[in-house]
Structures are given as structure tokens and as C-alpha cells.
Structure 1
């Protein structure tokens, strides 16, 4: 399947489990050295009780399978995860276009410092690193970096 076979749509309650599956697979593949702060049942509960019903959650769906997710909370990009098999196929670019359309005044996000691929991706999309921390404020206790994107005036 190609990127045109993938539908981006708002998540519904029924998508929470599949979105959590993508998150868990992607986190394990992209961040093998980062300790996941929450076990699988807690992640699934967080998707079902918080992310999908309370935040602006989008899923990428192909053949009735969720292969990616984007979560916005106002101007903060909270989550952007792709099924590992879908990395490098333009889906992240489509999610980024969507995020910028939804928040045209600007976006902010955090990513882990060890996630160099994510940093390159965000920088390619015009984000600028504005803060680095020792990680003591995040659940994983992993050094992170905050990025901002503001549209060109």
C-alpha cells in the first residue's frame, strides 16, 4: 500500500486499543534505550480514558488497521507515533501537515534527546530546539528537548 491508501481521521473510542498498540510498538522500536514509564495496561488505559476522549487524537488507517497516531492538546503536539513498518513512507509528513493546519499559529513539542531521528524529522519541518532538560520532569526520567514551530510571516 502507498500513502494514498491511508486515511487520516479523528480517532473514536473504538480506536483507543489499536492506537495504543501502535504507540507501544513504535516506542519499543524507536526508543530501545528508554525505559517505558508505564506498563502495557496503563498505556492502554491512558489511551482509552485520556488521549482519545479528551485530546484531539487523529489516526492513520489503512485496510481497517491503525498504522499511526497524532495527538494535539491545543498548540502542543503530544504524540506522533507510526507503526515501525510505516516509517519513511511519508505518513509522518502528512501528520505534520495536519498538525500545522490544525494549529496554524504555532506548535510546541517535547522529544527525547536520544531520539535523533525524531529531532531530524522535526527540524526538517521547521521546528527549532529551544530548551534541553535533564529529564527530571518527565515520567521516563530521560533527558529531553523542547521544540517550537512558528509559521513564516
Structure 2
């Protein structure tokens, strides 16, 4: 497996991994609010040209997973259903950590217990929850790793989250 920066021609593969991963999650995450065609346009017009998008590929070029960073936020981390359980998510998350050694943050749906367990196993700490302040209107949890500004200062107990 290799992880590389996505280019314009990768937009379809990125969108498909995102879509298929969400679809395979069943009831763990709410359904997407936008049609798949809009996801493809958004990926082509916004994600690839304006964010840091990475593609994990098998040796034959098959898309296995996606990572999108927006500043110090992990905006997307999706693994193709057939590649789950093979270390793709771990490799993508380690790649993100190597790119942002000072800290990362992300949102996970409160109902997505496998994702939450995954992030916690990799050192992310929940710092706050919402009752659905997102497009899907579903409760979510904010996670941080490392020295991210939203992390709680252990010496004072003060939280840096906004």
C-alpha cells in the first residue's frame, strides 16, 4: 500500500471511497444529506484543489482509503469496505499525525462506536459533544490528539476549545 497526495484525476476515486464507506456503515452514521453526484462535484471542485487530500492505494492502484486534512482537522478518513481491517485507517491516521505533529482534531458521530474506539485507541481524546450541530443533525463528538489547541491542559484543567 502507498499513500500519496491526490491529484485532480483522483477526485472520483476519493468520492467513491467516501460514499461506499458511509453506505457500508449502515446505522452507525446517519445517511448523507447530499446526493452522490453532489459529493463527486464537491470532491472535484473543493476537496482536491483546496484541501490536503490523500489517497491510499493498493500495489495495483486500487483505491483503499482517503484522508482529507483541512488545516489541523481530519476532515475525512474513510476506508473502502473491502479494505477495512487491513491497517489502512491506521496508516492514514499515522500519515496525518506525521504531517501535523503538533496536533490534530476531528469530529466523529456519537453513534459511530467503531470509529470512536479506533480514534481513542490511537491517542485521540474526546473534548466535547454536540447534540447535532452538523448537516445531518446527529450528535457528534470532538476529538483531539497531541498538542492541539482544543486539548485540555492537564496542569490547569482548562480547555482550549472554542
> Within the alignment, does 1:146 sit opposite 2:159 as a pair?
no
Preserved CA contact (<8 Å) 1:31 1:115 = no
Is the Cα–Cα contact under 8 Å of residues 56 and 72 in structure 1 kept in the other structure? yes
RMSD of aligned alpha carbons: 1.1
Residues 1:116 and 2:147 are matched in the alignment: no
Equivalent-residue separation in structure 2 for 1:140 and 1:25 (angstroms): 17
Cα deviation per residue 1:21-78 (whole Å; 9 max; x = unaligned)? 1110000112435121110111001100111111010001121221110000111010
Match of 2:25 in 1: 30
Report which of the two structures shows the higher radius of gyration computed on alpha carbons.
2
Stretches of 4+ aligned residues off by more than 4 angstroms: none
Q: For structure 1, which runs of at least 5 residues remain unmatched after alignment? A: 1-5
Unaligned regions of 5+ residues in structure 2, if any?
A: 148-162
So what's the TM-score if we normalise by structure 1?
Answer: 0.91
Aligned residues: 145
2:54 is equivalent to residue 54 of structure 1: no
Q: Which has the higher contact order (CA 8 A, sep 6+)?
A: 1
**Matches of residues 4-15 of structure 1 in structure 2 within 5 Å?**
6-15=1-10
SS in structure 1 of the partner of residue 4 of structure 2: strand
Partner SS state of residue 92, structure 2: helix
Given that 1:109 and 1:146 are in contact with CA atoms closer than 8 Å, whether structure 2 keeps it comes out as yes
Q: Equivalents in 2 of 1:130, 1:31: separation in Å?
A: 26
Aligned position for 2:73: 76
TM-score computed with the length of structure 2 as normaliser = 0.86
Does 1:100 pair with 2:119?
Answer: no
